[in-house]
Amino acid sequence: MTHRSPLLTLAAVAIFFAAMLTADFLVHPSAGSATAGASSTTLPSPISSASPAATPTQPASTPATSRPITSPAASATKRAYQDQFPHKVVYAGRSEDGHLAIAVAVLGDRAAAYICDGRSREAWLRGTVDGDSLRLTSRQGYRLTAELDDGRLEGEVRGDGRHWKFEIRPAEKPAGLYRAKGSTTTVGWIRLADGSVVGVATGADGTSEAAPPLGSDDEAQVDGQTVQATPVNGDDEI
């Protein structure tokens, strides 16, 4: 029987264990290498508590003014109201050239007016209202025609070969049209919005002159006596 050498046996055993160690190393990396790999791995960043970035929402634009929006129907209603005469109203002002003071009183469908220059020219006129317009005449041949436009009274006066255009507004008391009679004299006054008073006094003989002052109590001295001036309405007989 042939006997193997002890050295050969040991060599075979050593080769066997070396092969086993190599295979184990390839299958299970060393603990040191695993630790190093773990330390070099980057962990995911924590989720921020802030809201994610996004395109900011633009705020609703603020209107340039706080003017309320008016519907076409509301505008039409307002315009229609402004183009209708109130039941009772007085308009007062001056002609465009400033030469005449003009006052128009309306009551229902009737109207009366007075024009004067504060010196000698004057006329009392009467007529009717037709919708948003009116037409008045005087005994001296003066004619006044006018119509409403956005609450104002616009028109013209013609007479004595001349004409005057005007645009006058409603008069708030004490502004307005006043009249008084003495024993032989009739006086008309127009109190304007600025507080000034323009008037003419005409005697029984037809001569005219500047009216006497009209006090804040609507009293005046006419023909040597104190008279009380009264407001003129649209249906007054003048």
CB of 155 within 8 A of CB of 103? no
Helix or strand (DSSP H, E) at 101: strand 101-107
Task: Tell whether pTM > 0.85.
Answer: no
The pLDDT, as a whole number, for residue 14 is: 56
HSE-up of 16 (CA within 13 Å, CB side)?
6
Least confident of 60-64, 124-128, 173-177: 60-64
The pLDDT, as a whole number, for residue 178 is: 98
Per-chain mean pLDDT for the chain: 80
Question: What is the full DSSP assignment across 167-211?
Answer: EEEEPPTT-EEEEEE-SSEEEEEEE-TTS-EEEEEEETTS-EEEP
What would the two tokens of residue 214 be? Answer: 């009209």
Res. 77: pLDDT tops 50: no
In which band, very low, low, confident or very high, does the pLDDT at 31 lie, cut at 50, 70 and 90? very low
The pLDDT, as a whole number, for residue 211 is: 98
Burial class (CB in 10 A: 0-12, 13-18, 19+), 235: middle
Cβ burial 66-82 (10 Å sphere, 16+ → b, else e): eeeeeeeeeeeeeeeee
Res. 203: pLDDT tops 90: yes
The pLDDT, as a whole number, for residue 72 is: 52
Mean pLDDT of all residues in 38-64? 44
Res. 114: pLDDT tops 60: yes
Percent of the chain whose pLDDT exceeds 90:
64
Q: Higher confidence at residue 102 or residue 28?
A: 102
In which band, very low, low, confident or very high, does the pLDDT at 33 lie, cut at 50, 70 and 90? very low
What would the two tokens of residue 30 be? Answer: 């060393």
Mean pLDDT of all residues in 17-44? 47
In which band, very low, low, confident or very high, does the pLDDT at 54 lie, cut at 50, 70 and 90? very low
CB of 119 within 8 A of CB of 210? yes
CA angle 128, 135, 96 (to 5 degrees): 135
- Give the number of other CB atoms < 10 A from CB of residue 158: 13
The pLDDT, as a whole number, for residue 145 is: 98
How far is the C-alpha of 159 from the C-alpha of 138, rounded, in Å? 9
Q: C-alpha 201: how far from its chain's center? A: 43
How far is the C-alpha of 56 from the C-alpha of 40, rounded, in Å? 38
The pLDDT, as a whole number, for residue 22 is: 53
The pLDDT, as a whole number, for residue 69 is: 53
Res. 129: pLDDT tops 60: yes
Question: What is the full DSSP assignment across 129-146?
Answer: EETTEEEEEETTS-EEEE
